[in-house]
Structure 1
């Protein structure tokens, strides 16, 4: 498909976007560049620390556990083993009506031990549990969610970028945990994010195309998605991925919003796209089944348990409900 063939009248598209979710943390990009910022923040006595190990955070009840940074650092260091410290920034006041147990402007430090200590040891609360994001995300407030996502993204990067990609020398951590520098060639390396497009495909009759992977008879359906390749625009990625996965030709697309999904390092860029095709042909690898839904058909299928769709945590659900024009009711178990 040529670029000129891809153009379509603007009225083929929905002209609204997903609402912007406000930031809950001021990441302090200028502050963290100061030499010794971690020592300064921790020794201030005002800093709180979250603990993340092997992609799990220490949680008490339905809250991230945030300990006093200075004494916690001492106990974790005394416990032995590798320990990475990263400055996450300062919390911001939540929007009106949003609860947060963390006062605004609280400095937050992330401690990442190599192995998770048992609750009740190394300064950790006995009532704490090590919990993954997917297990707790629906119950976290906005500030805790933002901290968990940021901490996951930066700690995942550290775990996979311990050596210089140019010469193989072990790198040293600088800038509050946001830069790794090679002491041999002095090259600096920064956190990476992998862009991926995620798309609602809408036919000329207004129906929505959803698909799923795994067993052909599985019930889960969602939007279509894929990674952006080097040298490719986002729009080109939409066209290519939809054609590859379900054999559908996109005539136009529009950006709607994004969501960080750092498991390990993705940024999901949400689009809605239109097509004149009426038949979907799953590739049998990434997508094993695809199905068109009217609004009434989708709601009925979800309520009957015939299918399941993405959870409300994900941009996929936001994109689907953007097409639907409101909230899709879930089957009550």
Structure 2
């Protein structure tokens, strides 16, 4: 399965309209941006067991609408999230943890022109502003979207089918029939740049993407499979070639809906691509010069994605 530009392997999350993606066709320009430093903050496992994990302190609440967008405004150094300052954790909110002694939470809520009496410049999602946010905002946004996605996809017990009840400030769902606890999960997925050991790499595209958009290959790790084995299998399934020299690069949480993207590079041992059109619409070899100059794909993944991070590093000559 080829990865969408943002890094998601979820088939049931169609990509946003083309205007939502940065217009940046050139690779190699953002290699040094710390795209993968999206660290969520300590939730305090002991504090979660308390009736009020904020311990009665004022809490900053991040609203998330049905499109997984949040309120933002333009600060002096770029986009910033707009939090609602509340005296206590509101009903239905999910506790995200604290940073610098301040509790944070997420809450599903409709869009509005203002938040807590503060005007907002607009609503945006992780794909649009993730690469421009500071570490605190970026980490909280990725965590908030991921846990909201989990709740909306797991409203019933996998054991009995009974509607679950939410406990521990949003970090546990309980099956009222069996008493079993259901915890948030993360699905491992591999995302890999396949190169020829020289100056070319394979990029593919899905039919649901706008014309001309290409990215690197990706797919979910199957039960009983290592990440490296998943790289070899997915490449063979999608473009019909064998690879060797599979090397880990880095990882990125991608909460659409609940993936952990494990990034790799691998060297192809054959050249002729045999595309599985049930998996992807098109795949081609592209040279570094094509990606660097913009004469190749009409669009590449956005800067926030691990896909773009790996492409940029390969274009810059880090992998061979």
TM-score normalized with structure 2 length: 0.79
Map of 2:19 onto structure 1: none
Please list the CA deviations of residues 145-173 of structure 1 after superposition, one character each: whole Å capped at 9, or x if unmatched: 11111000001111111221211222222
What is the SS of the residue equivalent to 2:87? helix
Q: Is the aligned partner of 1:159 residue 2:172?
A: no
Map of 1:319 onto structure 2: 310
Aligned alpha-carbon RMSD (Å): 2.7
Map of 1:208 onto structure 2: 201
Aligned-pair distance for 1:204? 3.8
**Equivalents in 2 of 1:305, 1:209: separation in Å?**
12
Map of 2:124 onto structure 1: 131
Which structure: greater helix fraction? 1
Gaps of 5+ in 1: 1-17, 74-82, 92-103, 328-333
Q: Closer, same or farther in 2 for the Cα pair 1:86/1:281, shift >3 Å?
A: same
Report if the CA contact (8 A) 1:199-1:238 is conserved: yes
Runs of 4+ in 1 over 6 A off after TM superposition: none
Map of 1:98 onto structure 2: none
Q: Is the aligned partner of 1:44 residue 2:57?
A: yes
Q: Is the aligned partner of 1:53 residue 2:65?
A: yes
**Equivalents in 2 of 1:59, 1:124: separation in Å?**
14
Aligned mate of 1:195, from 169, 185, 188: 188
Counterparts in 2 of 1:64-103, with a 5 A limit? 64-70=81-87, 73=90, 84-91=92-99
Larger gyration radius, structure 1 or structure 2: 1
Q: Closer, same or farther in 2 for the Cα pair 1:259/1:233, shift >3 Å?
A: same
Map of 1:247 onto structure 2: 240
Does 1 or 2 have the higher relative contact order (CA < 8 Å, sep 6+)? 2
Aligned-pair distance for 1:268? 0.8
What is the SS of the residue equivalent to 2:237? helix
Report if the CA contact (8 A) 1:216-1:288 is conserved: no
The number of residues matched between the two structures is 281
Report if the CA contact (8 A) 1:220-1:309 is conserved: yes
Map of 1:100 onto structure 2: none
**Equivalents in 1 of 2:247, 2:114: separation in Å?**
51
**Equivalents in 2 of 1:235, 1:127: separation in Å?**
44
Report if the CA contact (8 A) 2:244-2:267 is conserved: yes
Q: Closer, same or farther in 2 for the Cα pair 1:155/1:182, shift >3 Å?
A: same
Q: Is the aligned partner of 1:309 residue 2:305?
A: no
Map of 2:42 onto structure 1: 27
Report if the CA contact (8 A) 1:31-1:37 is conserved: no
Map of 2:261 onto structure 1: 268
Q: Closer, same or farther in 2 for the Cα pair 1:262/1:205, shift >3 Å?
A: same
Aligned-pair distance for 1:305? 6.8
Q: Closer, same or farther in 2 for the Cα pair 1:185/1:120, shift >3 Å?
A: same
**Equivalents in 2 of 1:23, 1:217: separation in Å?**
28
**Equivalents in 2 of 1:286, 1:151: separation in Å?**
30
Gaps of 5+ in 2: 1-32
Please list the CA deviations of residues 262-320 of structure 1 after superposition, one character each: whole Å capped at 9, or x if unmatched: 011111110111121011122123322222233223223x1x47532212111011111
What is the SS of the residue equivalent to 1:84? coil
Aligned mate of 1:219, from 212, 219, 223: 212
Q: Which moved more, 1:183-192 or 1:129-138?
A: 129-138
